[in-house]
Amino acid sequence: MTLLERGERVGKKVLATGNGRCNLSNTAIEGASGSAYYNNPDFVAPTLSRYGCEVVRAFFEELGLLTIADERGWVFPRTRSANSVLDVLWAQVRRLGVEVHTGCTARRLSADAHDEHSEHRRLLVETDKQDFAGRAVVLACGVVPDLAALACQQTLGATPILGPLKTAAEPLKGLDGLRVNCRVRLLDGRACVGEETGEILFRNYGVSGIAIFNLSRLASPGQVLSLDLFPELTEAELMALLTERLRLLAGPLRPSAELNAADFLTGTLHARLALAVLSAAGLRPTEVLNPTALPRLAHVLKDYRLAVRGGPTEVQAQVTRGGLDPQQFSPATLESRTHPGLFAAGECLSIDGPCGGFNLHWAWSSALLAAIQATAAMRS
């Protein structure tokens, strides 16, 4: 077996996953039903039915890695260190006697090289150092510029996803660096195309955070993010709360004072976010709050809108959608339908899931299937 690695170190990208903690799977991925989390569910279902979360955890534990799952079902190495994952994988590479070539860039794959010792054709991988030939090749290179040449077929366009979204600037004024827990809906006209709940981070160019990352898989310019800043209440319940709050704050304890809009929201929202909400509701911070303004304020608190202008850049994104069209590969074996002996695994196939270990799980499960099938192809 031979491993070709473009970088100077094998597994360097693993070290950056999960903020260095390597969220390697999710307990929700059990059986074919786990495929619902992915963009091509029918294609990934056969792989996940064989290599669900428990199987992948068992595989790593056989290599010596202890894993734990948190209350969300996110699976991590017990050490909470990505180094541990890389260490056990690298130890297995050494035990198996794999020939490793680092700093080796593959340029092109040829599918018509003849094997002088059998009737089978070989696959030839041309690199910047030397050429390598074999009965089976597994591509696990991600969405790289020369992927079409490496796969002997056309590729889909590359789109960075799982990252922050760029939005209209005006509603972000004064909010850079502020974090808030809320429910976020992604709207296309009146239709809701996605919904997430969790912490978001305001930036001067848009919004970030895991909830936004997940919605970035569905987002496109022209859509709208609707932030519900009080997800625990209906709009009617929030209206009742605001009405009672106004009665209390402008009541007998403040007989000589007139309650302004900014003071009314003190203690309910971060001061900077309160100013942004008042602006969106058409209220000045210093104006005396009139009860007739409460419905408008309640509506903005339940539906603070940000127009989507664009998705994450390549640097910001955790995943790139695109690469090889899964329809060109067998879902049962991950072998190319047009080039026998060529298998694909991981991100080089246009497969992606949300945050929480789904993308790394696909990397492990597809690699296990592809490796077993490639080994069988070499022995046939």
At 8-27, the pLDDT tens digits run 999 888 998 888 999 999 99
- For helices 235-249 and 294-302, the axis angle rounded to 10 degrees is 130
Final residue of a structural domain among 214, 231, 248 = 231
* Residues whose CB is less than 8 angstroms from the CB of residue 160 and which lie 6 or more positions away in sequence, other chains included: 311, 312, 313, 314, 316, 317, 319, 320, 321
**Three-class DSSP category at 72:** coil
Across the beta sheet with 106-114, the strand order is 106-114, 121-127, 131-134
Do 158 and 319 form a contact (C-beta atoms < 8 A)? no
Domain residue limits at 187: 165-231
* Residues whose CB is less than 8 angstroms from the CB of residue 146 and which lie 6 or more positions away in sequence, other chains included: 106, 107, 108
d(CA 80, CA 39): 28
The verdict on 98 and 10 lying in the same domain is yes
Task: Look at residue 119 in the predicted model and tell me its pLDDT.
Answer: 57
Give the tokens for residue 301: 């608190």
Task: Look at residue 360 in the predicted model and tell me its pLDDT.
Answer: 97
The residue to which tokens 């693993």 are assigned: 14
Give the tokens for residue 159: 């789109």
Final residue of a structural domain among 250, 276, 304 = 304
Q: Give the total number of structural domains in the chain.
A: 3
In a domain, 310, yes or no: no
Give the tokens for residue 238: 């929030």
Final residue of a structural domain among 304, 329, 361 = 304
The verdict on 8 and 141 lying in the same domain is yes
The verdict on 300 and 328 lying in the same domain is no
The verdict on 67 and 153 lying in the same domain is yes
- What residues of the chain score a pLDDT lower than 70? 112-120, 251-257
For the chain, the C-alpha Rg in angstroms (whole number) is 26
Instruction: List phi, psi (to 5°) of 347.
Output: -75, -15
Task: Look at residue 18 in the predicted model and tell me its pLDDT.
Answer: 84
In a domain, 311, yes or no: no
Task: Look at residue 120 in the predicted model and tell me its pLDDT.
Answer: 61
In a domain, 87, yes or no: yes
Task: Look at residue 19 in the predicted model and tell me its pLDDT.
Answer: 85
In a domain, 309, yes or no: no
Task: Look at residue 24 in the predicted model and tell me its pLDDT.
Answer: 96
In a domain, 313, yes or no: no
The verdict on 137 and 10 lying in the same domain is yes
The verdict on 208 and 276 lying in the same domain is no
CATH, residue 68: 3.50.50.60
The verdict on 80 and 32 lying in the same domain is yes
The verdict on 6 and 137 lying in the same domain is yes
d(CA 324, CA 347): 9
What are the helix (H) ranges across 37-171? 41-50, 53-62, 82-95, 147-151
d(CA 20, CA 29): 22
The residue to which tokens 């999710």 are assigned: 26
CATH, residue 291: 1.10.8
Query: Strands, DSSP E only, in 189-338?
Result: 191-202, 206-208, 224-228, 304-310, 319-323
Instruction: Share the mean pLDDT of the chain.
Output: 93
In a domain, 119, yes or no: yes
| Amino acid identity, position 307 | A
The verdict on 9 and 115 lying in the same domain is yes
The verdict on 279 and 188 lying in the same domain is no
Task: Look at residue 250 in the predicted model and tell me its pLDDT.
Answer: 78
In a domain, 312, yes or no: no
The verdict on 218 and 268 lying in the same domain is no
Task: Look at residue 211 in the predicted model and tell me its pLDDT.
Answer: 97
d(CA 359, CA 352): 6
**Three-class DSSP category at 186:** strand
**Which of 195, 209, 177 lies closest to 273 in space, CA to CA?**
177
The verdict on 111 and 254 lying in the same domain is no
